[in-house]
């Protein structure tokens, strides 16, 4: 408890509060603009936080993350354009509600649901994180190897409709991760004689390219010259029926638990959490037919689910140093930028910072209640009157400046451009991009851990499996890889049986 009261004292000072309020507003704004997504915003912001106090920098990350998850609901409801990938499920019932003239109500529900999901998730982080961190001291190189492999395996399997392409993307990421000096032998790999490649490709450079350039190019393709008219953004206020809010409680509870579970597992992100929550709400409903036709429960489930994913995805990141999704990876690099080593030591040596970050995740969720109300929403909706074609060069410039300031060399801009164009086409042919990034992060970790483990065991590979912890983790990995296979075989058998009955 002292852990959190100390942290709270440090968070409740001028700059962190200002950063949280500002960043939450900025997050809602970013989420509300289709074409800008939270990953991109945080990636752009990160190089700027080098010179800031870490608590202020993390406050901004927390605000943008939570704010943008809600912000995505605004265009999803008003225009049926998801502001972020995670708000796709919000369009299902949000837009029909707006169509019926209940846009104001839908936005209110989205706002409250987002806040509820975020709060539940932050509480999960605050309880599970420190507990997990206590265990992780027993994790040696062998265990870290298995955790990295587990992360890779579940990413490849969970992302995308085509698992082969998912795994292929992950292997590509692993290969990119080997570029540069091998820290265990001093061997330079895939550097083509270029000194700037000795340090490997910068994660943020590749990430900005992969995640920011494709949406920008798509924005250019849409070529929106006018922006929205005022009439399209008109909101009417429809009062709630008695008991309607109370009826949302079970949905919130369900969606929060789903979001938290998805957040802890590596690989899946807010969009999957929102879909799963939406489907669960539909299944539990007495009137499933009303979903998709403007049922407030649908909006509540989707928005609560995607926000509940946020803080929970920080649990493995903070306690183990293993990022569950791309934003968590960014938070980890924010921590290392400030000289902090994620893992059990972090809780021990920088309790104020870790506790503070958790507090900030909680506070920014609460801020959505205050800042995401109809008034703010109305203001943000106005930004959609800006013509899309003007956004295209603005985002390009922000991307370039963000990438340039990392290492101060123009060659990084070319890397970003190349990554972006590759990302554009890969996405079009159904190759998911998240595994590429996670491969880049987890690959070096897996390789170094396994080689360290072998050095410690004097080359005896069986020790990777014989320690109780490593054996358990290895089993879990095998299960994750085998699960889809088992499912396929089961389905096939069932189909055979059904065919036999006929």
Partner 1 sequence: MKMKTAFVGLTTVIALSLPAQAEYPERPIELTIPAGAGGGTDTSARKLAILLEEALGTSIAILNVGGGGGSVGASQFMQSKNDGYSLFATWNSPLTTVPQVQNVAYSLDSFTPIASTSETAYTLCVKSVFPAENGQGFLDELASNPGKYTYGNDGIGGTMQLAAERIFQANKIDAIPIPFGGAGETLQNFLGGHVDIYGGSISTVLPYVENGEAKCLLVTSAADVPALPQASGLEALGMADKETLLWRAILGPKDLDPAIVKKLSDVIETAVNDPGYVEFLKTKGEVPNVVKGPDLGARLQAEFDALAEVSKGLGLSQ
Partner 2 sequence: MERRQDIFLGLIFMGVGAAAAWMARSYSGEGGTYPMVLGILLALLGSAVAGKALRSGAYVDRQLIEAPTKMVTAAAACTVYIALVAPLGFYTSSFLLMLMLPAALGFRQWLYAVIVALVFTLVVFLVFSVLLEKPLPRETLLSLLSTGG
Dihedral sign of CA atoms 475, 476, 482, 486 in order: positive
- Which residue among 132, 245, 340, 413 contacts partner 1 (CB under 8 A)? 340
Q: What minimum distance in Å lies between the beta carbon of 89 and partner 1?
A: 38
Q: Tokens 């968590």, residue? A: 328
- Which residue among 5, 134, 138, 487 contacts partner 1 (CB under 8 A)? 138
CB nearer partner 1, residue 378 or residue 452: 452
CB nearer partner 2, residue 340 or residue 454: 454
Q: Which helix (H) or strand (E) holds 490?
A: helix 468-501
Q: What minimum distance in Å lies between the beta carbon of 113 and partner 2?
A: 33
Helix, strand and coil content of the chain, in percent to the nearest 5, comes to 80, 0, 20
Report the SS3 class of residue 180: strand
Distance between CA atoms of residues 171 and 167, nearest Å: 6
What does 137 interact with, of partner 2, partner 1, none (CB < 5 to 8 A by kind)? partner 1
CB nearer partner 1, residue 138 or residue 483: 138
- Which residue among 369, 417, 448, 471 contacts partner 1 (CB under 8 A)? 448
Q: Are 125 and 258 in contact (CB under 8 A)?
A: no
Report which of 295, 297, 294, 312 is spatially closest to residue 252, judged by C-alpha positions.
297
- Which residue among 1, 2, 221, 231 contacts partner 2 (CB under 8 A)? 221
Distance between CA atoms of residues 188 and 197, nearest Å: 9
CB nearer partner 2, residue 81 or residue 469: 81
Distance between CA atoms of residues 161 and 24, nearest Å: 33
Using CB under 8 A, count the residues that bind partner 1.
Answer: 38
Sequence-separated (6 or more) residues with CB below 8 Å from residue 190: 178, 179, 180, 197
Is 493 a binder of partner 1 (CB under 8 A)?
no
Is 316 a binder of partner 1 (CB under 8 A)?
no
Q: Which helix (H) or strand (E) holds 189?
A: strand 188-189
- Which residue among 17, 81, 132, 168 contacts partner 2 (CB under 8 A)? 168
Tokens of 252: 């919130």
- Which residue among 5, 236, 341, 430 contacts partner 1 (CB under 8 A)? 341
What does 221 interact with, of partner 2, partner 1, none (CB < 5 to 8 A by kind)? partner 2
Report which of 258, 257, 264 is spatially closest to residue 319, judged by C-alpha positions.
264
Is 196 a binder of partner 2 (CB under 8 A)?
no
What does 305 interact with, of partner 2, partner 1, none (CB < 5 to 8 A by kind)? none
Q: Which helix (H) or strand (E) holds 346?
A: helix 344-349
Q: What minimum distance in Å lies between the beta carbon of 460 and partner 1?
A: 13
Sequence-separated (6 or more) residues with CB below 8 Å from residue 237: 104, 105, 374
Is 129 a binder of partner 1 (CB under 8 A)?
no
Q: What minimum distance in Å lies between the beta carbon of 451 and partner 1?
A: 9
Q: Tokens 């013509």, residue? A: 387
Is 345 a binder of partner 1 (CB under 8 A)?
yes
Strands (E), 64-118: none
Tokens of 497: 């049986």
CB nearer partner 2, residue 85 or residue 227: 227
Q: Tokens 């004689």, residue? A: 193
The number of helices, as runs of H, and strands, as runs of E, in the chain is 23, 2
Q: Which DSSP category does 181 fall into?
A: E
Q: What minimum distance in Å lies between the beta carbon of 280 and partner 2?
A: 31
Neighbours of 27 (CB within 10 A): 30
Q: In the window 190-209, what residues touch partner 1 (CB under 8 A)?
A: 195-196, 198-200
Tokens of 467: 């320690």
Is 183 a binder of partner 1 (CB under 8 A)?
yes
Is 414 a binder of partner 2 (CB under 8 A)?
yes
Three-point CA angle 440, 84, 157, nearest 5°: 45
What does 456 interact with, of partner 2, partner 1, none (CB < 5 to 8 A by kind)? partner 1
Sequence-separated (6 or more) residues with CB below 8 Å from residue 163: 156, 157, 484
Using CB under 8 A, count the residues that bind partner 2.
Answer: 52
Is 466 a binder of partner 1 (CB under 8 A)?
no
CB nearer partner 2, residue 12 or residue 48: 48
Q: What minimum distance in Å lies between the beta carbon of 384 and partner 2?
A: 15
Q: What minimum distance in Å lies between the beta carbon of 419 and partner 1?
A: 18
- Partnered with residue 189 across adjacent β-strands are 180
Q: Which stretch binds partner 2 (CB under 8 A): 13-21, 163-171, 200-208, 228-236?
A: 163-171
Q: In the window 376-395, what residues touch partner 2 (CB under 8 A)?
A: 386-387, 389-390, 392-394
Binding site for partner 2 (CB under 8 A): 48, 51, 164-165, 167-168, 171-172, 174-175, 178, 182, 184-185, 187, 189-190, 213, 216-218, 220-223, 225, 386-387, 389-390, 392-394, 396-398, 400-401, 404-405, 408, 410, 413-414, 417, 421, 425, 428-429, 431, 447, 451
């Amino acid at each position: 408890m002292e852990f959190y009261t100390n942290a709270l004292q440090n968070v409740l000072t001028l700059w962190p509060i200002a950063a949280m309020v500002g960043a939450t507003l900025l997050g809602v704004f970013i989420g509300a603009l289709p074409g800008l997504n939270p990953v991109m915003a945080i990636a752009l912001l990160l190089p700027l936080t080098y010179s800031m106090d870490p608590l202020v920098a993390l406050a901004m990350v927390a605000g943008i993350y939570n704010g943008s998850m809600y912000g995505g609901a605004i265009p999803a409801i008003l225009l049926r354009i998801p502001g972020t990938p995670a708000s796709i499920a919000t369009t299902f019932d949000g837009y029909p509600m707006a169509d019926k003239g209940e846009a104001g109500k839908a936005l209110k529900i989205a706002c409250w649901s987002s806040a509820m999901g975020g709060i539940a998730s932050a509480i999960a982080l605050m309880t599970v994180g420190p507990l997990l961190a206590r265990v992780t001291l027993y994790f040696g190189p062998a265990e870290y190897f298995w955790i990295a492999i587990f992360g890779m395996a579940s990413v490849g399997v969970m992302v995308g409709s085509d698992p082969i392409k998912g795994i292929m993307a992950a292997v590509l990421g692993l290969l990119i991760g080997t570029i540069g000096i091998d820290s265990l032998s001093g061997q330079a790999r895939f550097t083509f004689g270029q000194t700037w490649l000795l340090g490997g490709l910068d994660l943020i450079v590749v990430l900005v390219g992969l995640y920011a350039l494709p949406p920008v190019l798509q924005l250019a393709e849409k070529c929106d010259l006018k922006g929205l008219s005022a009439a399209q953004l008109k909101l009417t206020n429809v009062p709630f029926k008695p008991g309607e809010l109370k009826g949302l409680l079970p949905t919130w509870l369900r969606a929060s638990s789903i979001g938290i579970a998805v957040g802890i597992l590596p690989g899946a992100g807010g969009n999957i959490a929102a879909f799963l929550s939406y489907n669960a709400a539909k299944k539990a409903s007495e009137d499933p037919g009303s979903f998709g036709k403007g049922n407030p429960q649908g909006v509540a489930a989707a928005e609560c689910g995607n926000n509940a994913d946020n803080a929970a995805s920080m649990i493995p990141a903070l306690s183990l140093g293993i990022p569950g999704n791309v934003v968590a990876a960014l938070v980890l690099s924010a921590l290392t930028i400030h000289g902090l080593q994620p893992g059990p030591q972090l809780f021990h040596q920088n309790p104020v910072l870790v506790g503070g970050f958790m507090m900030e995740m909680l506070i920014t969720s609460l801020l959505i209640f205050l800042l995401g109300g109809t008034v703010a929403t109305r203001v943000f909706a106005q930004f959609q009157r800006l013509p899309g074609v003007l956004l295209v060069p603005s985002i390009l410039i922000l991307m370039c400046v963000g990438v340039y300031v990392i290492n101060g060399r123009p060659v990084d801009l070319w890397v970003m451009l190349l990554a972006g164009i590759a990302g554009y086409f890969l996405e079009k042919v159904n190759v998911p991009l998240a595994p590429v990034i996670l491969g880049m992060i987890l690959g070096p970790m897996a390789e170094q851990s396994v080689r360290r483990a072998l050095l410690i065991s004097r080359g005896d590979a069986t020790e990777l499996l014989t320690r109780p912890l490593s054996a358990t983790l290895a089993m879990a990995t095998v299960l994750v890889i085998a699960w889809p296979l088992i499912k396929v075989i089961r389905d096939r058998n069932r189909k055979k049986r059904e065919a036999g009955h006929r």
